[in-house]
Amino acid sequence: MKKITLLTLAGFILVLMALPVTALRAAEEKTAKDTYVKVPETIITENIPPIPVEIEEKMRQYREMRSASFVDWDPREKGMIVRTRTGDTTQLCWLEKPMGELKQLTDFKEPVTRGNFSPDPARKYFLFAKDVGGGENYQFFKYDLDTGKSVMITDGKSRHQAIVFNHKGDRFAYANNSRTGMLFDVYVMDPDKPTEAKLVYKAGKPAYYIPAGWLHDDRHLLLIEYVSANKASTLLVDTVTGKFENLTPESDKNFTFFLGYASKDDKYLYGSSDQNGEFNQLIRYERATKKIEVITGDIPWDLETAAISKDMKKAAFLVNEDGISRLYLLDPTSLKYKAVTSIPEGVIDDLSFDPAGKKLFLNISNARMYNDAFHLDLETMKPVQWTKSDTAGLDLTTFPTHQLIHYPTFDKAEGKTRMIPAFYYRPLKKSTQPFPVLIYIHGGPEGQDKPGFQGTFNYFINELGIAIICPNVRGSSGYGKSYLMLDNAEKREDSVKDIGALLDWIAAQPELDKNRVAVYGGSYGGYMVLASMVYYSDRLACGVDIVGISNFVTFLKNTSAYRRDLRRAEYGDERKIGDLLNKISPLTNAHKIKKPLLVIQGKNDPRVPLSEAEQIVATVKKNNVPVWYLMATNEGHGFRKKYNGDYMYYAVVRFLQEYLLNY
């Protein structure tokens, strides 16, 4: 080894002193670049310290993982559309055979959603949707399979939702709010003649109007009128005359009634309803007599989704059993069904039959599978895997699987202590110390946490040694309509008490550290984070609020007009109970927040506006507690661009290191 003497060291210092100032500055900048993560130009931060590049390097594999899921099947039976991230955004790709090579189709700076083929094989195109900057004013585009080019077929301004092709495949139904900005009217369009789109249903009240399916005459459209999670109806619209009939049974009680499929002769309609009990059940509706036949009355769980083959001879449906998806096959004629047990257990979505009715396509996600595409061979009943998500070299067998727990809360149900369901992810690495805990609270509030792939949370569990608990507090879907309504309006804070009960449960577990607990959530989950920090600051280490509601009155005033009445049905009408909503809002009680808070927001959020984040940040700062703030200028209700999401998670890890892990 070469020896460094005082003489050589002195010479080095002289040389360094002789360097130009610009060279010194460049050296300093290089050192800073090598030491700290660069903040994207699209992100504005406040009080967030420089993030060591070490965090980026350690998280790299976890942030590079990406799923590859089924979207739609080509009616020519030549392959499928797959959705996956390419670069920084989610795009659509082509896949010809199981485990084949993905061929990228779309390439935009903004993420692409949907991907619907016309059922007519001669029409070689599919439709997809895309917004700008997270504003959720989705536009529809037509992608030509021959040329690889796409063209926008909607107005470029208003919000468009749902794409439902008729059976012939020459028209599709959709909804938009172009007429008033608030009400959703329903249109029918030939994608080859977009300027001739026809208004077929003019909304008369605030609701989400969602085209669900066509009768086989290709004239009558089944239309869902969605008012709230507890109230939805089905209308039958004559797309020629504009006349419509409400098929929903009359009742003085709120319930959901969805119809989306018709038998070949249009005699029967299939769908779901919770009119006859706690759960959504599969039903068959006879048009002539209006008789309703319950098909799945013996299954005490919610029907989630269903699909039927083109020839109407086969059907399938999913049941949400305590968060796990259970698949069933149904004979639409006899109404007999049987469970499918040959597929991997997990969370399933996007049920779809191939045109020949021989394959059932679906996506499966679980703790060790990142939403991969499969088809079920209906002759052999064996699953065939089409995609294997990119795990960036990580061994998914090292990821912990979920543990379903139920913990007691403050009140009773049917004379017994009410139990709250939750999914618990325990680090697999052994520790001599109790695990710190992150409580993840889902949004909605009608949402439900399910034990699918945990994504970046696996870094928290595996590398940081944090146990994660995901409670489905009252108000969550999947546990019956009574449970769903337990947090409505005046009962809002009862769901916060369920978090207090979870803190009690954590304190009773020797393997968990009751003194190191963080709350984390987005949207309504963000409200729950803020409310938990108001009531349980003395029992929490810190909180991460992502696009959360801080004041129900200002939220209802400033959320997008088309959402306002729908949210009033859930939270209460601020024009009637404004004093109560103000009283229970975290902003009103922000002086009680005594622990560090990280607030994350998208500037263009149409649901929970930017002002909700700004006002809670400004108010909590007065408490002389650390408040970190991160805002992305080109995002909306959550971050969908990878470079923004990367930095957000780096900031979250740095925050948890500082205030939960204490290093």
What integer pLDDT is reported at residue 158 of this predicted model?
96
The domain at 410-659 falls in which architecture?
Answer: 3-Layer(aba) Sandwich (3.40)
Name which of 164, 193, 161 is nearest 177 in CA terms: 161
- Determine the average pLDDT of the residues in 461-467: 97
Given a cut of 50, is residue 590 above it in pLDDT? yes
Given a cut of 70, is residue 168 above it in pLDDT? yes
Give yes or no for a cis peptide into 445 (omega within 30° of 0). yes
- Determine the average pLDDT of the residues in 148-163: 96
Q: Which CATH superfamily is domain 176-300 in?
A: TolB, C-terminal domain (2.120.10.30)
What integer pLDDT is reported at residue 10 of this predicted model?
39
Rounded CA gap, 332 and 60, in Å? 48
Given a cut of 80, is residue 157 above it in pLDDT? yes
Edge-to-edge strand list for the sheet holding 43-46: 43-46, 627-632, 597-602, 542-546, 512-522, 435-441, 467-471, 416-425, 403-413
Looking at residue 49, the DSSP 8-state letter turns out to be P
Residue 390 contacts by C-beta under 8 Å, 6 or more apart in sequence?
64, 65, 66, 68, 84
Residue 259 contacts by C-beta under 8 Å, 6 or more apart in sequence?
212, 213, 222, 234, 247, 269, 270, 271, 285
What integer pLDDT is reported at residue 445 of this predicted model?
87
Given a cut of 50, is residue 17 above it in pLDDT? no
Determine what percent of the chain is predicted with pLDDT higher than 70. Answer: 95
Name the pLDDT band for 31 (thresholds 50, 70, 90): low
pLDDT in tens, 208-261: 999 999 999 999 999 999 998 889 999 999 999 999 999 999 998 899 999 999
Rounded CA gap, 374 and 70, in Å? 8
Name the pLDDT band for 33 (thresholds 50, 70, 90): low
Given a cut of 50, is residue 431 above it in pLDDT? yes
Q: Which of 485-494, 577-586, 596-605 has the highest mean pLDDT?
A: 596-605
- The pair phi, psi for residue 71, each rounded to 5°, is -120, -55
One-character DSSP codes across 363-418: EEEETTEEEEEEEEETTT--EEE----B-TT--GGGSPPPEEEEEEEEEEETTEEE
Contact (CB, 8 A) for 36 and 52: yes
Per mean pLDDT, which range of 92-106, 479-493, 508-522, 633-647 is the poorest?
479-493
Name the pLDDT band for 5 (thresholds 50, 70, 90): very low
pLDDT in tens, 304-329: 999 999 999 999 999 999 999 999 99
Length of the chain: 663
Name the pLDDT band for 558 (thresholds 50, 70, 90): very high
Cα–chain-centroid distance for residue 327? 21
